[in-house]
Structure 1
């Protein structure tokens, strides 16, 4: 069954119209502010984290005597914040030093009762462990713990990411008119492909096939997908786990860090979701051998008929296996300072639908089908604001295992383009 919608010409999309996008210079300045703001705050939290690392790795433990204690208060238009403050004396190499403070961060925060409970844990005149800097003995802390204030260090990462992406885009398009920005990589006037076909066509990976001429490769390799997901998961959860551990310690010590718990909950949920998705993808990668898709010719012309061969290695127990021909157009355009992305399925055709089956170990299920493209099929292209991609999508429903769905892109070109590519 074929489900077809109209094709959107790259010359008529909003993103390619003159005046549809903001000036690259203005966008560079705008996102530059985001970037500087994010880097400034990230540098501040980075410096605080460096001090905390020194406390844990360089500072030396000794015994101190509490001389005085008080509740430090800072008031402004937003309210009053608090911090416990102690004056304590300690001895290093026979010399007495007096220091005022509590931890390495030294920030005030809301929650007066929690700070009073900290003050109550220390008695004036009592002896307690403390840690001093051997390079500067006048610096010392009464506790070594990760402050929950570091959680705010996650916020500048968002500003850095947005700002850096916007600045890179602005610099690359600086000095170009809207027409040049869209025409630099778009099809030439009249819909004809530009002479350099490799810059206009979307990137496609093909290797020599075993039974047919070419074997299609997945748009994103399994290794790259898992590697990127693993790195992001380790980076995100590594940062979040530090603060989660601190929250757990606070609850175990009898404190009630309600605000910090609520603040960290969404970050924790993102980390859990990322970890679960990584586990799912690892199960698919480790328990399912990838479907092999071979094609008689690539690229393919509109109206041409080619053979496709599908092979699914075992062992595998399937509820069903299907393949579809998909043509998808992706459009991006700007309105003011906002960028929008849309996608339209231009062609959706079922190639085969297999019922439940069992593929034994050491064997492979295979199926060969004929594919005829429409005579009016639009050629593949990769332009500044438009992309049109043809692909074979294989979906498998597996018994007692996560399902999989893989896309294998290929190119559709005009006869002239294929002659020059060959």
Structure 2
């Protein structure tokens, strides 16, 4: 009986470690993967419409990088456009995509601005519940977060499922030994 208690003590410690490791993996993995998945699901509910560009501008975002000790500038897109649905209802919207599209290089932002001309109509997507929530681009810039987030989530889930099966198996083995 003493050997059995010793084994269960070590096993309980091992199982506790598995739970402690799997919890943060599931949480952080889910947190990282939730943004691109949430954006994708949200955009699936948007309907296609026509947007007329009213104005376009390049925005500057400056910040101090503590790692390099330098000021850094990022460039963002700022479009104002009129959204028109299939029933010819209109609303004004502002932005470009579902996420904050910023670029480290000014030329990259200017290339996108050059694709759109003021006064011209382009395909866009809008939320039917609120047409002022519209996007000119359905690109999701945070897809890269799916890789580490998904890996962390799958490992955490695997550990948790393995933990459940191990406890179930141990319970079954112990119950079987007691019956003998």
Bin of the TM-score, shorter chain as denominator length: 0.5 to 0.7
Aligned residues: 159
Query: Residues 169, 131 of structure 1: CA spacing in aligned structure 2 closer, same or farther, 3 A cutoff?
Result: closer
Query: Residues 163, 76 of structure 1: CA spacing in aligned structure 2 closer, same or farther, 3 A cutoff?
Result: farther
What secondary structure sits across from 2:19 in the alignment? helix
Query: Residues 46, 75 of structure 1: CA spacing in aligned structure 2 closer, same or farther, 3 A cutoff?
Result: same
Q: 2:61 aligns with which of 49, 69, 73?
A: 73
Q: 1:132 aligns with which of 123, 126, 148?
A: 126
**Offset, 1:22:** 5.0
Which residues in structure 2 correspond to 1:88-167 (within 5 Å)?
88-91=81-84, 96-123=90-117, 125-129=118-122, 130-144=124-138, 146-167=139-160
Structure 1: tracts of 5 or more residues without a match: 1-15, 175-179, 189-195, 197-422
**Post-superposition CA distance 1:341-397 (Å, at most 9, x none):** xxxxxxxxxxxxxxxxxxxxxxxxxxxxxxxxxxxxxxxxxxxxxxxxxxxxxxxxx
**Offset, 1:39:** 1.6
Query: Residues 119, 33 of structure 1: CA spacing in aligned structure 2 closer, same or farther, 3 A cutoff?
Result: same
Task: Measure, in 2, the Cα distance between the counterparts of 1:27 and 1:67.
Answer: 55
Structure 2: tracts of 5 or more residues without a match: 1-6
| Residue pair 1:67, 1:89 contacting (<8 A) in 2 also | no
In our comparison, the structure showing a higher alpha carbon Rg is 1
Please name the residue that 2:50 is paired with.
62
What secondary structure sits across from 1:126 in the alignment? coil
Which residues in structure 2 correspond to 1:1-400 (within 5 Å)?
23-55=14-46, 59-73=47-61, 75=63, 77=65, 80-91=73-84, 96-123=90-117, 125-129=118-122, 130-144=124-138, 146-172=139-165, 184=173
Task: Measure, in 2, the Cα distance between the counterparts of 1:21 and 1:117.
Answer: 59
Please name the residue that 1:6 is paired with.
none
Q: Considering only aligned residues, what root-mean-square deviation do their CA atoms show, in Å?
A: 3.4
**Offset, 1:133:** 2.6
**Offset, 1:153:** 1.4
| Residue pair 1:104, 1:141 contacting (<8 A) in 2 also | yes
Task: Measure, in 2, the Cα distance between the counterparts of 1:167 and 1:110.
Answer: 40
Please name the residue that 1:406 is paired with.
none
**Offset, 1:94:** 6.1
Query: Residues 141, 167 of structure 1: CA spacing in aligned structure 2 closer, same or farther, 3 A cutoff?
Result: same
Task: Measure, in 2, the Cα distance between the counterparts of 1:74 and 1:22.
Answer: 49
TM-score (norm 1): 0.32
Please name the residue that 2:4 is paired with.
none
What secondary structure sits across from 1:87 in the alignment? strand
Query: Residues 118, 107 of structure 1: CA spacing in aligned structure 2 closer, same or farther, 3 A cutoff?
Result: closer
| Residue pair 1:89, 1:97 contacting (<8 A) in 2 also | yes
What secondary structure sits across from 1:23 in the alignment? helix
